[in-house]
Every structure is written in structure tokens, then in C-alpha cells.
Structure 1
Amino acid sequence: MKTEHITVGSGSAARKIAVRNRQGKAPGVVWLGGYRSDMIGTKAEALDRWASESGRQCLRHDYSGHGESGGDFADGTISRWLEESLAVFERFAAGPQILVGSSMGSWIALRMAQELKKAGRENRLHAMVLIAPAPDFTHELMLPELTGDQKRQLAEQGYMEEPSEYSDEPNIFTRALFEDGEKNRVMTGLIETGCPVHILQGMQDPDVPWRHAMKLAEFLPMENVTMTLIKDGDHRLSRESDIALLLRTLDAMVAHADG
């Protein structure tokens, strides 16, 4: 799959965003990855194969500071990555699409829905699949757990580090990410997505507790939300059985559209 690049932002804020777009019919899927993940991970590749086999569009990109995209990871914020995701969507997405957000990508997906609705373009979304959704993670999951030392790091050096279970490099969280996260919170009132939402959540997830997904559901319209809890599921939900569940979920969503 050929990688294309588009420029988002201007002047010193300009960054090249890497995009892989498999053309096909709608509804297709738009992949929104998690914090420090990229568009060639297990789930993203599975979505692309599914799209290829079903003749549907599959659109994916790397946020700035991630994967093949330009920009400095330390400059990343929800607003910045949201701007890039909307730019990619507007440039490449054809017809109504299914947003598939993983972890932080679910936060981006929900904010995209809000911005599209604000612009009167909510008909661009067919549905959403939120995998281990982590909207508002800076406020809801991290802020209450910060140690005194971590708060000092944020205040004095502008960032904090913590070990990562998924990489030899530590996770870096900036003060700007926390501050910008406050401006992008969605779990403060009704989240009107304008489309059905299916949440897939592992109950053995050490990063995003399943109760966070339950709390999120309280802010979504009752008639449009389905939740599947995977009792032995972890945060990544990348096992063969997890991928099969994801693809069955998509099959049901597009069958409804085709029907």
C-alpha cells in the first residue's frame, strides 16, 4: 500500500501527515490509532485486509510524531491530532464512514463526531467502533493517579515519563497534553455522535479499566450504543479472537447499510 503525505497546519505548525488510503465503496473504515501507535499495527492491518476482501474503503494515517508522519511527538496534543484526523478525513473519505478508534483514538473519534456535527456534516458518519476507549484519559485516568514527583516534573520541566509495557522507550506525557486535554473533554454531557456506537472492551485491561467504558456509555444516547465486554480481554485486543470479533462487528454494520 502506497503511503501518501498531506501537509496540515501552516508556518512553524506545518507537519507532513502520512496516509494510506485503500479506495473502495462506502461505508468503509477510518482507523484512528492510540497513543504512540501507528497505522501498520495488527488491528489496522486486519481492517485493511477486511476492506480489500469486501471492496470497501480503508483510510488510515499516522498522527504527527507517530510512525511515518513528521512533527515532534512532544508537540502532540488532542487538538493537534484532531486537526490532522479531520484534515485526512475531509481529503480522502468518500461517503459515510465507520470510525474505528482504539484507546486514545476513540477520544479523537468522538471529537471528530462533535466537530462534524457542528459543521452540519454528521451524515458523513455511518457508525463508530470504539476499542478500549480512552476519552478524557488525561483528566479521568491519569490526573487522579499522579504522584507528587510526577506533578513536579510537569510543573518544572513540562513533561513526565513513565515506563511503557509496550516499548523499551518510556511514555512521555507533556504539560501541554494535560492542559489541552481539558479543552477537549467529552465526558461532561451528552455526546451526540449522530450514529450508532459499538464499544469493545476487555475486562482485564490494565490501562483503561472497563468501568471507564461503562462511564462513557452513560454520556452516549441510549438507543445508539452497544457494548461488548471481553472477560479475558486486555488493552490491545489484538488476539485472533479479538480481531474476529471486531470484523464481525463491522460485517454487521455494513450489512445493515447494504440492506
Structure 2
Amino acid sequence: MPATDFLETAQGQKLAYHKTEGDGPTVVFLGGLKSDMEGTKAVHLEAWCRARGQAFLRFDYSGHGESSGTFDEGCIGDWHADTLAAVDDLTTGSLIVVGSSMGGWQALLLARERSDRIAGLVTVAAAPDFTEDGWWASFDDAQKICLESDGYIELPSDYMEPYYVTKRMIMDGRDRLVLRSPLSLPFPVRCLQGTADTAVTTETAVRLIEHATCEDMRLLLVKDADHRFSDGPCLGLIEQAVLDVMEAA
């Protein structure tokens, strides 16, 4: 296993990353909330790209994995800044961005800032605007009062330990929403979504493709696939989606 490298950002974070040299476009994997670059999808895509001789980058947001910072103090905007730093400092040329769950939201934020560099986008159970439409919309009055008075609440997760949701996370998320204003994606996009996903609904996936402006955007629903989307057949679908956007670019 290659040693982990670290990038020092302008925000004072040390981001852990693994970069594979190769031909372009560079495939960049953006992970989900509280996941890290050692996840099944990230490691699988790295091996797949290395076998193809293709450049690849995976990294940990601040407060995730081996990077500096504390998860409970982070927010969508912090991880957006991390993504921009990683892309700007560690890659050159065109990109194929693969965003999983919260990483799908990060990919869409990246598209707003660096659309000229993105040749194609693949989302896996993308969760745009989840702090508002998933969390805040589901809070009862008691939870909202607790969030205001204590500055945080805890929410259960079907996939890991409970989420520690801060008021800062909610308020910052409102500044990063992508489904309330025009969203131009001037490159091929493939969206993958499992029907057994209990974290992100199929309605969210449909809402995204209906909202975005894109000449070549497709949604594939996979029966009985869950939010992890990381068994053998699902990993194969991610590979195919990456190939598809590269060929269509």
C-alpha cells in the first residue's frame, strides 16, 4: 500500500490523499459524509484506473479519515473548500468526477466553480441539499429548539454511528443549496441510484435530473441496491458510467 501524502490548504488543513499518475482525464472520487478514501468504491476505482493507466485521485475531507480537523466542527462549505484545494493543487487538465452521496453534492458545487475542467460527471446515490431537505425538513419542533439552544442534535443512521448535526452545518448548508437555482452541467452526466437506499430516495435522484440543465444526463435505477452501492455488480455499473461519460465527452 503506497504511503499517504498530505496537502496543506490555505484554510490550514492537512488533507490526506492518494494520487495515481496516468493518462487523462483524471478520475476524482468524492466520498460521502463521514466516509473516507479507504472505502470500497474509492479503492476499487483506484485499482481500475491504475490497470487502465489512467490518472486517479482520492482524498479525505477535513475531519474525515487521515486528514486534520474534527468532523463535528465541519460543514458542507468546509468540504467544498477542501475539494477545490485538492482539484486545483493536485490535478491538471480535464476531470471525470465521481461523487458518492454527500460527494454528489460536492461534485455539483465543484461543477459551479470548475465546469471548464470537468469532462464528465458520475453520481452515486447523490444527496444534494440533504441538510435542508433531509435533515431540517424532518426535524420536529423539539429538535429545532434543541438545535437552537444547544447548537447540535444527534440523528441515527442506518449505515454508521449517529450523526452529530450542528447548527453551523444546517446554516452553512443553506448557503450551498443547488436545487433552488439554475444548475448548468455542460458535460455528460450519469446518475446511479439504488431503489433500496434508505438514506437517499429515488425522488431525490429524479428531482436532480429534472432540475439540472444538461444535454446528456441519464439516471439508472438499480433494483434492491442500497446506499452503499458497493457490491460487485454495482461497482461494475460505476466503471461503465465512467467509461460512458468519457466516450460521450
1:219 is matched by which residue type in structure 2?
H
- Secondary structure at 2:99 match in 1: strand
Equivalent residue for 1:146, pick from 139, 147, 153 = 139
Per mean C-alpha deviation after superposition, the further-off stretch among 145-154 and 76-85 is 145-154
Query: Residue 4 of structure 2 corresponds to which residue in structure 1?
Result: 3
How far is the alpha carbon of 1:220 from its aligned partner?
1.3
What number of residue pairs does the alignment pair up?
248
Structure 1 Cα separation of the partners of residues 128 and 14 of structure 2: 25
Structure 1 Cα separation of the partners of residues 143 and 47 of structure 2: 41
Query: Residue 242 of structure 1 corresponds to which residue in structure 2?
Result: 234
Instruction: Indicate the percent of aligned positions where both proteins have the same amino acid.
Output: 38
Query: Residue 17 of structure 2 corresponds to which residue in structure 1?
Result: 19
- Secondary structure at 2:116 match in 1: helix
- Secondary structure at 2:28 match in 1: strand
- Secondary structure at 1:223 match in 2: coil
Equivalent residue for 2:104, pick from 106, 113, 127 = 106
Query: Residue 80 of structure 2 corresponds to which residue in structure 1?
Result: 82
Residues 1:209 and 2:201 are matched in the alignment: yes
8 Å contact 1:32–1:101 — kept in the other structure? yes
Residues 1:155 and 2:148 are matched in the alignment: yes
Residues 1:46 and 2:44 are matched in the alignment: yes
Structure 2 Cα separation of the partners of residues 138 and 147 of structure 1: 14
2:169 is matched by which residue type in structure 1?
L
Q: Give matches, 1:145-184, under 5 Å.
A: 145-167=138-160, 169-184=161-176
8 Å contact 1:104–1:134 — kept in the other structure? yes
8 Å contact 1:28–1:51 — kept in the other structure? no
How far is the alpha carbon of 1:112 from its aligned partner?
0.7
- What residue ranges of structure 2 are gaps of 5+ in the alignment? none
Query: Residue 186 of structure 1 corresponds to which residue in structure 2?
Result: 178
Structure 1 Cα separation of the partners of residues 92 and 51 of structure 2: 18
Structure 1 Cα separation of the partners of residues 248 and 181 of structure 2: 29
8 Å contact 2:96–2:118 — kept in the other structure? yes
* RMSD (CA atoms): 1.3
Equivalent residue for 2:117, pick from 94, 110, 124 = 124
Residues 1:28 and 2:26 are matched in the alignment: yes
8 Å contact 2:185–2:214 — kept in the other structure? no
Per mean C-alpha deviation after superposition, the further-off stretch among 236-245 and 141-150 is 141-150
Query: Residue 254 of structure 1 corresponds to which residue in structure 2?
Result: 246
- Secondary structure at 2:85 match in 1: helix
Structure 1 Cα separation of the partners of residues 10 and 246 of structure 2: 34
Deviations 1:202-253 (A, max 9, x none): 1111111001110111121242211101121111111111001111111233
1:28 is matched by which residue type in structure 2?
T
How far is the alpha carbon of 1:173 from its aligned partner?
1.0
1:158 is matched by which residue type in structure 2?
G
How far is the alpha carbon of 1:256 from its aligned partner?
4.3
Query: Residue 66 of structure 1 corresponds to which residue in structure 2?
Result: 64
- Secondary structure at 2:177 match in 1: coil
1:67 is matched by which residue type in structure 2?
G
Structure 1 Cα separation of the partners of residues 223 and 135 of structure 2: 24
TM-score, normalized by length of structure 1?
A: 0.92
